Structure 1
Amino acid sequence: MKIGFTLPQMGPLAHEAGEVARFADEAERLGADSLWVGDRLLAPIEPTVGYAGGDSIPEAFHSVLDPFAVLAVAAAATESAHIGTNILNAPWYAPAILARSLTTIDLVSAGRLLPGFGTGWSPEEYRAAGIPMEQRGARLDECLDALDELWSAGPARYEGRYWEVPPTNIDIKPAQRPRPPVYLAGFAPAALRRVARRADGWLPVCAPGARAFDPASINGPMATIRDFAEELGRDPVAIDLVLRVSPFPDASVDLIAQTIARAGDETGVDHVFVEMMNLAGTVDESLDGVQRILSATRG
């Protein structure tokens, strides 16, 4: 089982931005297989839609560092750990800008980037980004098409309804060829079909401490994805998944370790990462948590 952790990007940990490189280096030394960031833009005071189906925004989202900058620092500070995004809200970004940032990070990391994309859920964030939220699904599809074009050989050109890339020469390409593996999030039928149609992997989530781990919450959607993939002529077994373990603040190390073990034993998951923003108030506490979780899961 590959086990990763989120970088100090959100919540109290974000106030120690100067420690991102040390965290990444020490987490890798302790045995972390991957390091991750998310993508939050606002913490609305009166949210139209709350987090995770609620009516409020977690205090951790009041403090958020830029995901691209944090990933670049982690890429430069490490040698072997994958570095991933779960998730980048792709509809917020012009594809040419997104491709440039992700290509740079993949090159700095010597081909260790795992880019995960989604559409987000906050109307206020879409307003702040200047993007109509009702276009988010179509913009994600176009963004993925444009990234394929920008990361392909030869001059690039893309013209869609929402995004355009005029004909251009791009001599800098990602280290991974033909491109970094693309992961997509989401549980809705349209999201699962999109994974089956065009992604290299899916990004499910579980929340130890909020509810008991249910293997069916992963196995069911993954079976749907693979059924869709087979209908579309893709190899269903080739579609990967990485599980985000997002513990509630009162979740114990033992519960987190049990969740990881059950995911490995009862689903097809062989790569998880643990979200640390609810588990630690400082980078040192977060590193201690990394060590304890790895010890509990690996002995």
Structure 2
Amino acid sequence: MRVGVHLPQWGAGANRSAVIDLAQAAEESGFDSVWVADHIVLPVESNSDYPYRGSGTPFAPEDGFLEGLTMLAAVAGATTKVGLGTSVLVLPMRHPLEVAKIASTIDLLSDGRLQLAVGAGWMREEFDALDQRFDARGRRMDEQIEIMRLAWTKGIFAYSGEFYDFPELACLPLPVQPSGPPLLIGGLGPTAFRRIKRHGDGWQVLGADFDALTEMRTRLDELGPGKILSTSTGMPRTAEKAINRLRSLAAAGVDQVVLNSIETPADLLARLQMYRDEVFPAVST
């Protein structure tokens, strides 16, 4: 099972030294990948319910929030082997050709280290501020994924759909990975599974519910070999808890886990060293 870690994006960690130092430390400590989340603007007042925790988001508008793809481009230049990922990129907030171009560029300049977990988003006010339609964002996302796949595999193509329509154009150069960066679909329920079946290389889910993950593994296996089950979950603060959690996730059939923490950069750096010295040697045996 591959193990990644979220990089800091807001508050005290939203600066060059923290991001680069932690990315390099993750690489040196044996983590397989580093990850970013996605927001462009944060409304000061919002009526949208954050779907991932009952007490609201872990960040406030005044904390700032670094743009994720830009972060990955900077990290790609400061590292040599660690994977680069988004969890999740809110695809309907952007034009698919722009995302395809940026992703191709990062993949090429990182020598094929990028993967994208994408989702439909949840904050209506952010969509409104960006002049993007919140309703029907799922159907738009389906077309966006189709366009990105064409850009990554053909490079020269035309498209005609419900939301996007353009004549033949070139979106080159192609990414290093033959079919482009792996695309993981974020979310739960039948809609997410339908997208995985049609478009996705795997499933990016939130949490460490081992029974649910085992069921998801079974469903993915029914689609054929090679589908990735990836989950983002909290980063245990003791070696014993971390070892137990990683072993349980591996037993549930998880291919990749992304650990996240809201600790300060200094505390997170110490946590990475603990994983290097105590956790990874134990789970690799």
Q: What TM-score do you get using the length of structure 1 for normalisation?
A: 0.86
Q: What is the distance in 1 between the residues matched to 2:53 and 2:25?
A: 35
1:226-245 superposed matches below 5 A: 226-227=221-222, 229=223, 235=224, 237-245=225-233
Q: 1:182 to 1:174 in 2, by over 3 A?
A: same
The secondary structure found in structure 1 opposite 2:135 is helix
Contact 1:38 1:86 in 2 (8 A): yes
Corresponding residue for residue 66 of structure 1: 67
1:281 aligns with 2:264: yes
What is the alpha-carbon distance in structure 1 between the residues aligned to residue 74 and residue 86 of structure 2? 14
AA aligned opposite 1:149: L
Alpha-carbon distance in 2 for matches of 1:34, 1:76: 14
Q: In structure 2, do the counterparts of structure 1 residues 106 and 297 end up closer, same or farther at CA, with 3 Å as the change threshold?
A: same
Matched, 1:271 2:256: yes
Task: Indicate the residue corresponding to 2:23 in structure 1.
Answer: 24
Matched, 1:50 2:49: yes
Matched positions, count:
278
Residues 22 and 77, structure 1, Cα contact 8 Å, conserved in 2: no
In 2, Cα distance between equivalents of 1:60 and 1:281? 16
1:81-230 superposed matches below 5 A? 81-153=82-154, 155-206=156-207, 213-227=208-222, 229=223
Shift of 1:55: 6.1
Secondary structure at the aligned position of 1:73 is classed as: helix
Distance in 2 between residues matched to 1:7 and 1:142, nearest whole Å? 30
- Structure 1, unaligned stretches of length 5 or more? 207-212, 230-234
Contact kept, 8 Å, 2:73 with 2:106, in 1: the verdict is yes
Contact 2:228/2:255 (CA < 8 Å) preserved in 1? Answer: no
Aligned residue type for 1:38:
A
Is contact 1:187-1:221 (8 Å) kept? no
Shift of 1:53: 5.4
Alignment root-mean-square deviation, CA: 2.0
Q: Give, in angstroms, the shift of residue 199 of structure 1.
A: 0.6
Unaligned runs of 5+ in 2: none
Q: Does 2:4 match 1:9?
A: no
The aligned counterpart of 1:290 is 272
Q: Distance in 2 between matches of 1:69 and 1:113?
A: 13
SS at match of 1:59: coil
Q: Contact 2:4–2:258 (CA<8 Å) still a contact in 1?
A: yes
Q: How much has 1:154 moved relative to structure 2?
A: 5.2
What is the CA-CA distance between 1:270 and the residue it aligns to? Answer: 3.0
Change (3 A) 1:149 1:187: same
| Deviation for aligned residue 1:60 | 5.5
**Structure 1 residues 185 and 114: CA distance shift in structure 2, 3 A:** same
**Map of 2:234 onto structure 1:** 246
Answer whether contact 2:91 2:119 (CA < 8 A) is retained: yes
Q: Secondary structure at the match of 2:248?
A: helix
Report the secondary structure of 1:166's partner residue. Answer: strand
- Name which of structure 1's ranges 151-160 and 27-36 shifts more when overlaid on structure 2: 151-160
Matches of 1:49 and 1:296 in 2, distance apart? 41
Aligned pair in 2 of structure 1 residues 53, 123: CA closer, same or farther (>3 Å)? farther
Amino acid at match of 2:179: P
Q: Superposition pairs for residues 71-82 of structure 1, below 5 Å?
A: 71-82=72-83
Secondary structure of the corresponding residue to residue 257 of structure 2: strand
| 1:98-153 Cα distance to aligned partner (Å, 9 max, x none) | 11110110011100101111111111111122122111101110100111121122
User: 1:260, 1:120 → 2: CA distance?
Assistant: 28
**Secondary structure of the corresponding residue to residue 134 of structure 1:** coil
Which amino acid counterpart does residue 243 of structure 1 have in structure 2? T
Contact 1:94 1:163 in 2 (8 A): no
State the Cα distance separating 1:70 from its structure 2 match: 0.4
